[in-house]
Amino acid sequence: MSTHQPHDPHAPLPHTPEVHESLDAWHDHSHDERPQHPHLESINAPKVIGIGVGLFLAVAATVALVYGFYVWYNVRALDQREGIGNGFEGPSRAERDDLSARLNQGYAWANHDAALLPLDQGVDRVVKQYATKRAASSGQP
């Protein structure tokens, strides 16, 4: 049993609004009213372009100022950390200078189990070590 009732395909649907001659009474003007001028029919293009360019320049200047402050602040913070310009050498700079001096002198102890040596000497030692291993495995003197 179906409770569905057939409908007339030409009947207006209940959600379709009624068609009016004019969109709204507000749009209709009587002859007694004085004519109204259209709003913003034409714009002042140079003024709009000037405001747009001005806003762009303001944003660009703000970005440049923020970036400049960022660079200035970070350079100053790094200088303070390394002790540049303070009249004394900071601990990290002193450690780096000490390590560079020890590496340039030759061998130095990094800790109880490892020694530091210049890169050229280290490369030569590794090459000689592999050459002797290769000669020993192939049976050549």
State residue 52's pLDDT score.
Answer: 97
- Helix, strand, or coil (residue 118): coil
d(CA 132, CA 141): 9
Question: Which range, 18-32, 33-47, 55-69, 101-115, has the best average confidence (pLDDT)?
Answer: 55-69
pLDDT tens profile 51-83: 999 999 999 999 999 999 999 999 888 877 776
Cα separation, 111 vs 114, in Å, equals 6
Structure tokens at 68: 């400049």
* Highest mean pLDDT pick, 22-36, 72-86, 87-101: 72-86
pLDDT tens string 92-139: 667 777 777 776 776 666 666 777 777 788 888 889 999 888 888 876
Please report the pLDDT score of residue 101 as a whole number. Answer: 75
What's residue 81's pLDDT? 75
> How far is Cα 117 from Cα 121, in angstroms, rounded to an integer?
7
Residue type, 16: T
**Residues 14-23: contacts with CB within 8 Å, 24+ apart?**
none
**Two tokens at 73?**
């602040």
Quote the pTM value.
0.36
What is the domain partition of the chain in residue ranges?
43-94, 106-141
Residue 44: predicted pLDDT: 87
